[in-house]
Amino acid sequence: MNKRFTAKIQNIKPSIESSSNIVSDNIVVIPESADLKARKGSVFATFCIKSEIPNDSKLITKIITDILNETYYQSENISPIQSIERALSDITEKILNLPSEQIRSLSGGVKKEVSIDILTAVLWGNVIYIVQYGEGKVYLIRDGFPKTIETLNEGNFSAASGFIKEDDVVALCTPKFAELVPLEKFLSQPLLGADLPPDASSLVLKFIEEVTFSEKETIKFYDEKAVKKKSAPQLFKIDKTGILKFLKKQRFKLFVGSIVLLMVASIQTTLTSKSEDSGIKDENVMGESTQQLTEETSQIETLPEVETSKDAETKTTRVKDPPIYNIKITEPTAETSEIAVLDDNVIVSDNSSGKLYISTINTPKYEKYSTSFDGINSLSYDDGNLSFSDKEGYKVYSIVIDKVLESYSKEGLNKTATYLDFVYSLEDGKIIKYTKEKNELSPSLWAQSEEFTDAKSLSVATSIYVITGDGNVMKHTRGIKDDFEIKGLDAPLKRAAEVVAYYNFDNIYIADPENKRIIVINENGELIKQLKHINPEHWQNIKDISVDPEEEKLFVLDGSKVFEVNL
């Protein structure tokens, strides 16, 4: 994880009597130990408990707080989502059994119904994990634009995860609060707890990088004037102190620059003197260099012209940058297959040999990695690590420490994708959903269709997107095929090769090699733009694409060449 965030908190809750049929409240659990916080993060929760028999409201809040503290923070070697789900299971069991004797005595042995809604969020570094039991809404406000976070349902539980950014706001809302304060109201009025009904609570979190806030401060994350004018969010803010610092830096740069100029002048005088002494030899060298440069320039100028008159109409963006690296430089015999972007590194695989070639994002220089994996396939980002399938099964691997962090035995895995704590696999016309259990994968059928036969790629972001054998794109949600088509293309897909979707992304990316382009669409299939290289000699053999976790850079593997595109 590159960044670490803290949350400024606004606690919106009603006044609750000490004994009530309805109890709603908000809970914040931040470990005192810096090491525990770094390993497990901070936990936030909003809940509403309803029963026909009154409950001790303080006792309910204490039970939930204690179990979150004990079960979540004592759970080792499993993910935050699994830890929270275990804690929520313990909470529901405890609450359901808590008033059992009282209920039996008052109702003649018949147990009355209890309704439990709990929404939790774990802030870990720059990632937030949402786990929900029962009903409720989770809102995200980013750059002044609101949306409801969609979660993946698994029985009574639903979950989601994604990266957060500076000034993001996440609101955990009980069902009643979401009904009274719909999403649009978050941008138009202050949020107060006064006069709320007993089942309406919300915990609002505003994320700031490495800053500590008082929990008593009220969050103001909207600008009334900006909302009325519908203006774009301000991206930069410069104050007088910042300007003074800037000017001081410029003076320092001017001083350093003067020294550099004197050094350059001295070096140039020395080189000129040597040139005069060497006579005709330097003339020949300069002549050869000039001739080589002229030949290269001539090659660029003679490239076929590209028709761009309809680019605006077809939403086409031309990529001008040349490849940043050619893997053949590292190993001439490499047969590149896939590419994946992590937080700080880019990995290219040779699936036939199991070899990996790794470079930092900032300095493109791909080096052969010491560790290889026989039958490696389906490279994917997994919370800062690399996940993939190989001949042994499914693995999560740390590039930083060169260590397999998780390994699950399962032969025959081919095209896989990970989402939350599950692994999805294309197998014989089916999508199999695997649950991680100890060192094995427990399978269950997620969806089945003849169209999955010979499918080339799948990616999961709440829904599952599949590239079929004939190169079309399908979308399935909760195991059911959606009415989905890509709209706005000037030329239809021709045997698409790869689809990239991620929960935190705004868009979906599709590699269309035969049309030498990358298609960018939204979740409804509407075309956002299509990327084409201005040099028609490039992108003729697109093998794979990958997008960095912040959705700022796209990496294209074209044959053995790697291209970087700013999004």
Domain extent for 33: 5-213
Domain membership flag for residue 511: yes
Q: How confident is the model at residue 339 (pLDDT cuts 50, 70, 90)?
A: very high
Is 262 part of any domain? no
Rg of the chain in Å (alpha carbons): 29
- Residue 259 identity (one-letter amino acid): I
What is the distance between the alpha carbons of residues 85 and 131, in angstroms, rounded to a whole number?
Answer: 7
DSSP tag of 336:
-
Q: Flag whether 548 is in a domain.
A: yes
* Cβ–Cβ < 8 Å for 156, 134: yes
Let me know if residue 286 belongs to a domain: no
For the residues 478-493, what does the mean pLDDT come to? 91
pLDDT per position as a tens digit, 165-177: 888 999 999 999 9
In a domain, 400, yes or no: yes
Does residue 347 lie in a domain region?
yes
CATH number, position 487: 2.120.10.30
Question: 183 with 323, same domain?
Answer: no
Please indicate, yes or no, whether residues 324 and 469 belong to a single structural domain of this protein. Answer: yes
**Do residues 353 and 493 both lie within one domain?**
yes
**In 10 A of CB 123, how many CB atoms?**
23
Lowest-pLDDT range of 242-251, 395-404, 460-469, 527-536 = 242-251
265 domain residue, yes or no: no
Average pLDDT value over all residues in the chain: 80
Which residues, 6+ apart, have CB-to-CB distance to 320 below 8 Å?
Answer: 533, 534
Domain final residue pick, 164, 186, 213 = 213
What confidence score (pLDDT) does residue 127 get? Answer: 86
| CATH number of the domain encompassing residue 150 | 3.60.40.10
> pLDDT class for 425, splitting at 50, 70, 90?
very high
Q: How many domains does the chain have?
A: 2
283 half-sphere exposure, CB direction, 13 A CA radius: 4
Q: Whole-angstrom Cα distance, residue 91 to residue 166?
A: 32
Q: Do 209 and 352 sit in the same domain of this protein?
A: no
Query: So what's the pLDDT on residue 155?
Result: 64
| 209 and 320 belong to one structural domain | no
Which of 213, 243, 264 is at the close of a domain?
A: 213
Q: Which of these three, 180, 213, 246, is where a domain ends?
A: 213
Query: Within a domain: residue 258?
Result: no
